[in-house]
Amino acid sequence: MNPGRADLHAELLRLFGYREFRPNQQEVIDAVLARRDVFVVMPTGGGKSLCYQLPAVVLPGYCVVISPLIALMKDQVDAARANGIRAELLNSSQDPAQRAAALAAFSGNGHPGDGPGVDLLYVAPERFSDAAFTSLLTQRPPSFFAIDEAHCVSEWGHDFRPDYLRLGELGATYPGIPIAAFTATATHKVQRDIVERLRLREPHVVRASFDRPNLRYAVVPKSKEAAQILSFVRERPGVPGIIYRATRKKVEQTAASLQADGIRALPYHAGLNDAVRAENQERFQRDEAEVIVATIAFGMGIDKSNVRYVLHGDLPKSLEGYYQESGRAGRDGEPADCVLLAGGGDVATARYFINQMADPDQQARASRALAEMIRYSGSIGCRRTQLLHYFGEQYSAPAHPGCCDVCAGEVRSVDITRDAQIVMSAMARTGQRFGVGHIVDVVVGSDSERVRSRGHHLVKTWGVGADKPAPHWRRVIDSLISQRLIEQTDEKFPTLRLTESSREVLAGERSVAMAEFHTVRAGGRTRRSRMDGDDVRVIDAPETQRLFEQLRALRKQIADEQGVPAYIVFTDRTLRDMAERRPCSMDEMAEVHGVGKEKLARYGERFAKAIALD
């Protein structure tokens, strides 16, 4: 007999100290208790573990929990035990004595009067290739299987683990034992894939809303990223936060610069040795360090509920990834910030890497994912609406400042109807067969060989946009793509195409706006002195490298004219910074490392012009 609702509430209070179920928990628990297969999609922090822990206690016998990360298993076991739930784990990290102890505890389980036994037995998927283990399960069948992080079975997901494929055989090997699968991965495609690969039998599907009302989303244009990150963290002294960076090197640089400022920040990436990584995670988890600076290697299953912000220093690879990573903030339901620094050379760098991909399918996927990210970061509409739309959900609550920067009126937009028409017309006149770089070349009137050889210096739109720099036109194009007013193909060399909506813009029937690109900082004033030594940038994108070389040539020319050594004009570091940021106004130029008032007045215009012509 299943316990009634009142009993479940009593158990909830007894085991966990909670008076109410979170949305969907009770529905999941009811289905598990009714011995059905269950498939649960719930966002991070939604309270998935309780959905199998509570039935594991209520049902006779025990539940086998399959979880992908051995490193996190111990925490999960400790957390369950802290609630008085009898939990053990079996995995390859144990020594023989630990394993024997776990098995002894387990063996006490099964029949009334058999001793303490366990409620939860945590195992990694590879355990199912161990004959001793599988025969143990046959002798002492569990009441149900709980598969955590079930998206690991799907190659469409972002954490595919081949060992998970084996779990598709559970139903056949242990007939009659229900399976409950849990994931926070939200797309319908992954969902279908999981149900199929795990061979769930007419599962009861529970799909929670992906809205996280306590998270506030914002995008800040990236200008001086190191200084922006520092000032952001300084404004939140002692507050736990996660900073994601795209590369190990950037992780190290950011962590070092924060440490130099007296902030307790620790790095986390796959290049650190296991012990250091585990220790850093542990110290963050225990609030001994307030900030963890990490690559996306950090996070799956991290159980720290009081993370108050997640700051992305670089553009994530996909909106799904962004949602999951930023979702590590505010698991306790208290307000938290999800801030993305977007811009700089990130889109160009991402495009460069996508172009290098050998597998066309992978390339097409990466390209689509990038387009989603551009759409999100360049949006002039509510960010929450956009995120939820991506997961197939409608968000219709009225705009409020706690929702996102757009709803709070922090993102201003500018009318770019005429610029949109110029771009579209350049695309039309060159036969819609070219990518972003070439269209920009045509619009700004580049005299390059590539343009001449195709006769594109003769088209009517050639040079019509020469009054604005190339980066402006790239932003216009990104914004048009993001608003679906033009399309970018998924080919190896993506080309730009007009759409039905483009015709409306060209015909003057529709106006276009884009988010104003302003160089506000992520809060407050910045102090630069300490950052100087650390703020060394890596030049990734070939476009940046090319521009850097051009700026060096200009510096040589100026130095020769004045009879001074080149470094007196600008240092390499300044030129690198300039090549990366592509300042398009004197204000932006003044933001470049090493450009003071004097040098701005002397050289600013000449360098800005060189950048504009690039």
Q: How far is the CB of 328 from ligand ADP (least distance, A)?
A: 9
Told to check if 21 binds ligand ADP by CB under 6 A, we report: yes
Q: Rounded distance, CA 484 to CA 500, Å?
A: 10
Site string for ligand ADP, 259-298 (x = CB under 6 A): ----------------------------------------
Question: Among 129, 305, 417, 545, which residue interacts with ligand ADP (rule: CB under 6 A)?
Answer: 305
What's the CA dihedral at 185, 187, 192, 194 to 10 degrees? -20
**Range 204-216 burial, b when 16+ CB lie within 10 A, else e:** bebbbebebeebb
Q: Which of 8, 38, 47, 485 binds ligand ADP (CB under 6 A)?
A: 47
Q: Which residue has the tokens 């059905």?
A: 36
- CB nearer ligand ADP, residue 45 or residue 471: 45
Nearest approach, Cβ of residue 386 and ligand ADP (Å)? 23
**CA-closest candidate to residue 119, choices 176, 66, 59, 72:** 59
Residue with tokens 């649960």: 40
Name, in order, each residue with C-beta under 8 angstroms of 442's C-beta and a sequence gap of 6 or more: 426, 430, 434, 451, 456, 459, 461, 462
- Candidates 250, 215, 244, 391; CA nearest to 315 is 244
Select the residue interacting with ligand ADP from 29, 48, 425, 554 (CB under 6 A). Answer: 48
Residues 6+ apart with CB under 8 A from 488: 367, 371, 435, 436, 481, 494, 495, 496, 497
Restricted to residues 555-574, the positions that interact with ligand ADP (CB under 6 A) are none
> Least distance to ligand ADP from the beta carbon of 41, Å?
10
Specify the pairing of strand 204-207 against strand 144-147. Answer: unpaired
- Cβ closer to ligand ADP: 75 or 252? 75
Structure-token match 């190659």, residue found: 155
CB of 249 to ligand ADP, least distance (A): 30
CB of 221 to ligand ADP, least distance (A): 31
Question: 27 or 504: whose CB is closer to ligand ADP?
Answer: 27
Only segment of 17-25, 117-125, 166-174, 192-200 that touches ligand ADP (CB under 6 A): 17-25
- Considering the rule CB under 6 A, would residue 18 count as an interface residue with ligand ADP? yes
Count the Cβ atoms, other than its own, within 10 Å of residue 504: 14
Dist. CA 107–CA 377, nearest whole Å: 54
- The yes or no reply on residue 46 touching ligand ADP (CB under 6 A) is yes
Compute the least distance from the CB of residue 520 to ligand ADP, in Å. 33
Judged by CB under 6 A, the stretch of 46-54, 216-224, 339-347, 476-484 that binds ligand ADP is: 46-54
| Residue with Cβ nearer ligand ADP (46 or 469) | 46
CA distance linking residue 460 with residue 443, whole number of Å: 10
Tokens of 174: 């242990």
Region from 19-27, 129-137, 457-465, 468-476 binding ligand ADP, contact rule CB under 6 A: 19-27
With CB atoms as reference, the residue minimizing the distance to ligand ADP is: 47
Give the shortest CB-117-to-ligand ADP separation in angstroms.
Answer: 23
Q: How many CB atoms lie within 10 A of CB 353?
A: 14
Stretch that binds ligand ADP, among 37-45, 202-210, 467-475, 488-496 (CB under 6 A): 37-45
- In this chain, which of 29, 32, 40, 42 binds ligand ADP, going by CB under 6 A? 42
Asked if 245 interacts with ligand ADP (CB under 6 A), we say no
Helix (H) or strand (E) holding 268: strand 265-268
Scanning 32-40, 47-55, 312-320, 556-564 for contacts with ligand ADP by CB under 6 A, the matching segment is 47-55
The site string for ligand ADP over 362-381 (x = CB under 6 A, - otherwise) reads --------------------
Closer of 152 and 422 to ligand ADP (Cβ): 152
Name the residue nearer to ligand ADP (CB basis): 18 or 493.
18
H or E element in which residue 88 lies: strand 87-90
Helices in 141-290 by DSSP H: which ranges?
A: 170-173, 188-197, 225-234, 248-260, 274-285
Smallest separation, CB 83 to ligand ADP (Å): 9
Determine which residue in the list 28, 31, 40, 49 makes contact with ligand ADP, applying CB under 6 A.
49
User: Which residues within the stretch 313-332 sit at the binding site for ligand ADP (CB under 6 A)?
Assistant: 331
Separation of alpha carbons 303 and 307, rounded Å: 10
DSSP state of 404: B
Q: Using alpha carbons only, what angle is made at residue 67 by residues 66 and 69, rounded to the nearest 5 degrees?
A: 150
Please report which helix (H) or strand (E) contains residue 349, including its range: helix 346-356
In terms of CB distance, is 46 or 465 closer to ligand ADP?
46
What are φ and ψ of residue 599, in 5° steps? Answer: -65, -30
Which of the residues 50 through 79 are near ligand ADP (CB under 6 A)? Answer: 50
Q: How far is CA 607 from CA 226, 572, 611, in A?
A: 23, 14, 6
Q: What is the CA radius of gyration of the chain?
A: 28
**Least distance from C-beta 305 to ligand ADP, angstroms?**
5
Which one among 78, 287, 303, 467 touches ligand ADP, defined by CB under 6 A?
Answer: 303
Q: How many residues bind ligand ADP (CB under 6 A)?
A: 16
Nearer Cβ to ligand ADP (49/425): 49
The distance of closest approach from Cβ of residue 42 to ligand ADP in the complex, given in angstroms and rounded to an integer, is: 5
Q: Which is nearer to ligand ADP, 286 or 597 (CB)?
A: 286
Residues with Cβ < 8 Å from 131, sequence gap 6 or more?
none
Residues that bind ligand ADP (CB under 6 A): 18, 20-22, 25, 42, 44-50, 303, 305, 331
